[in-house]
Chain A
Amino acid sequence: MTATVQIDLPEKASKRKRNLLDFADWSADEVGALFDTADVMAQVLTRTIKKVPALQGFTIGTLFFEDSTRTRLSFERAARAQSADVISFAAGGSSLSKGESLKDTLRTIDQMQADLYVVRHPVAGVPHQLARWTDASIVNAGDGRRAHPTQALLDAYTFRSRFEGFDGFEGKRLAIVGDVLHSRVARSNVELWRKLGGEVVLCGPAPLLPREVAAGVRHTHRLADAVEGAHAVMALRLQRERMASGLLPSVAEYVTRYQLTEEALAMADDHALVMHPGPINRDVEIASDVADGPRSVIEAQVASGVPIRMAVLYTLLVGKR
């Protein structure tokens, strides 16, 4: 027999959300309630029998137009740990996507009558488009360079759990270093961190930073500026293709100017955490000793993935109607 999870959602989250596309229509309180749910889920995952019947009878479809074994497995684990049925569509490169309109693709898949789709697509906006055409819930598992909201949730959740003496996001500064322009992780983290009341500094070479600066966000090309006083420093993966496409001169130059090293971190807050959305290029955007060092919560980020995604699925499918 499996145990039933008792979850008390705060009063303010009384209206059930249908989708998680980005954080545009999510309030800080709703995100806070989701974190509380994730705490319960994390507790479930420490039990001998890591399964609850919370989503029994629900069907969840993972719809990945772009390969991502890690994210897909994390969602599937989150679904199965709550006893949901899972159907996986690996649509990338198959006849499903070739020359067919998205709407026709969805219409075919919708015959499976899933209650919720987890969608990843190389092009921004596809989860929004699909949400217009189906009654099922949509969870954005990454669309182009636009958004990766569950990654941002697990990053903030990790910070909340691991930052010593955590007393809220107000006044907490997140520094994101690297290829911000092409990063959906960066974009979602900026959106969420600002929503929760924190400050954000973006750092990288000019061709990899957006030209436009959003309200409450600072840009800098100097790593020392970004790190100084930061409570969390997140390094982003540097794609080799940025050199091939002429955006950057060389890996060596990038390493010299932007690699997260112990020395660079010296000016950060005493309790600063080091984060990375993975997979890491050791000794490119982050020095090995930093990645494996005492400030690093990179493994905790990975471990937060399943409880956060359990909480997202639960909130969207059951929540409090």
Chain B
Amino acid sequence: MRSPSAGRLAITGARLVDGDGDHGIGDVLLEDGVIQAIGEGAGAGAATVVDAGGALLTPAFLDLHAHLREPGQEVKEDLASGLAAAAAGGFGTVVSMANTTPTVDEPGLVAELVEKAARLPGARLRPGAALSHGLRGETLTDFAALQAAGAVMITDDGIPVANGRLMRSACEYAAELGLVVQTHSEDPSLRGDGVMHEGEVSQELGLPGNPDAAEAVMVFRDCEVARLTGARVHIAHVTSRRAMQVIEHFKALGAPVTCEVTPHHLTLTDAALRGFDPVFKVAPPLRSEADVAYLREALRRGTVDSIGTDHAPHTRAEKERDLMAAPFGLPNIEVAFPVLYTRLVRPGELELADLLRLLQDGPAAVMGWPRPRLQAGAPADLVLLDLETERAVDPARFASKARFSPWAGERLRGWPTLTVVEGAVAFRLEEGAG
């Protein structure tokens, strides 16, 4: 069991913000994993009191897309380090991806993850399970049994489902069970051996390119399958203008499609590869400036349902191989909010309320979960955010095992200082950090 909080915990003098708006300065009192009381003076009489000093208190974030690498890839990350990293990033709930060793494609593996995570501090785990056995894209896993064991999402993320017929069956089956199918939408043959966005920069660098068409084509298929079957299809990590336009088209038709973008695709471009550092090798790839601008527009317009981190830790040595051999993915769950707050909200490109929605109500709606609120009786999953203090990104201090970052050394604002999950302190920023 998650260790229960020692008596009652109060957070006082916080600016209280949730999906219903800004409720001004007040206290919250937490007990037995829920919010007992909220408002001015509600914190009186608690055993432990945290003075927020006017910092922003809001429901902990939900990440529908993180690679926690357990079982089998613990050299990259494990449940303990991954859930601690999530909590350090202000996330209270994380959906783990199934591309582990072995693949999470059996109910027993899901149950093991759930059981193990419940004993760990940090964020709460909600496992995703594979769509096909071994992510081979050939035969369907037992969705109902996986769901009964605790899986909340079906996904072969990491590998596109090449076979359209299998995708259709998966969606029909998932629709029947009310499960969300999350897709890694890239056409494998059009993607080929591309290791970065195909364009001017890939041409300049002589690296095999992965065209935006590879993504748009597969997003189109997956949206059509959602429309055809009525399944809730969540398109992971949309990166290109073309793919986003396809999603807009299907949303306008009323197809049951939702989509996600990542912090890195919103803030980095293919130009980052100019230094030939495989840290910037991700799938789908970092795109052009025009694509990034379009993704940001889509955030503002409300086309995007959630920000998922696609936190994908690897060892340093794996990222010190050549650009073809190095694996795809980067760690970011600990810096996701500060990166987006500093790069998008502070310059005025995105409202703070919109960023919070994409990390709270947005992902909750995708999953059909209750919208997280600051109110009596609601789960005590909270994050306290310091929007003012500037701190440099210091990968050496990451809770994640992947101690490198595309933003290393960058000075950011918006750091979580306290994360509470089920009423227990899951993360607290050390004094003097940064």
Contact = CB atoms under 8 A, between A and B. Distances in A.
Contact of A123 (B318, B320, B322): B322
Contacts of B207: 124-125, 144-146
A113 to B, nearest CB: 21
Given A129-B276, A211-B198, A124 B320 contact: no
Given A103-B317, A125-B205, 11 more contacts: A102-B321, A103-B320, A104-B317, A124-B206, A125-B322, A125-B323, A129-B276, A144-B324, A210-B203, A212-B200, A212-B203
Size class of the contact patch on chain A: 20 to 34
B318 A101 contact: yes
Contacts of B205: 124-125, 146
Contacts of A187: 206
Chief secondary structure at chain B's binding surface: loop
The 7 closest A-B pairs by CB, nearest first: A146-B206, A125-B276, A123-B322, A101-B320, A101-B317, A103-B320, A124-B206
A279 to B, nearest CB: 21
A128 interface: yes
Interface in A103-126: 103-104, 121-126
Interface of B: 198-200, 203-208, 275-277, 317-318, 320-325
B322 A126 contact: yes
B322 A184 contact: no
B199 A123 contact: no
The interface centre, meaning the residue of A101, A121, A125 with most chain B CB atoms within 10 A of its CB, is A125
A211 B203 contact: yes
Nearest to A123: B322
Nearest to A133: B320
A144 B206 contact: yes
Nearest to B276: A125
Contacts of A176: none
Contacts of B204: 214
Nearest to A127: B276
A151 to B, nearest CB: 14
A147 interface: yes
A48 B275 CA distance: 45
Interface in A158-205: 184, 187
Contact of B321 (A101, A147, A210): A101
B320 A102 contact: yes
A129 B322 contact: yes
Given A101-B320, A123-B323, A212-B199, A128 B276 contact: yes
Interface of A: 101-104, 121-126, 128-129, 143-147, 184, 187, 210-212, 214
Given A101-B317, A101-B318, A129-B276, A123 B203 contact: no
B289 to A, nearest CB: 14
Contacts of A103: 317, 320
A138 B205 CA distance: 18
A144 to B, nearest CB: 6
A144 B208 CA distance: 9
A143 B206 contact: yes
A212 B276 CA distance: 20
A247 B146 CA distance: 43
Nearest to A145: B206
A121 B322 contact: yes
A147 B207 CA distance: 11
11 contacts: A101-B320, A103-B320, A104-B320, A123-B324, A125-B276, A129-B277, A145-B206, A145-B207, A147-B206, A211-B203, A212-B200
The interface centre, meaning the residue of B203, B206, B325 with most chain A CB atoms within 10 A of its CB, is B206
Contacts of A214: 203-204
A243 to B, nearest CB: 17
A70 to B, nearest CB: 21
A110 to B, nearest CB: 14
Contacts of B275: 128
A20 B40 CA distance: 67
B73 to A, nearest CB: 15
A145 to B, nearest CB: 4
A147 B204 CA distance: 10
A160 B318 CA distance: 45
A121 B322 CA distance: 9
The interface centre, meaning the residue of B200, B208, B321 with most chain A CB atoms within 10 A of its CB, is B321
A86 B84 CA distance: 51
B195 to A, nearest CB: 9
Contacts of A101: 317-318, 320-321
A93 B323 CA distance: 17
A18 B203 CA distance: 25
A172 B181 CA distance: 59
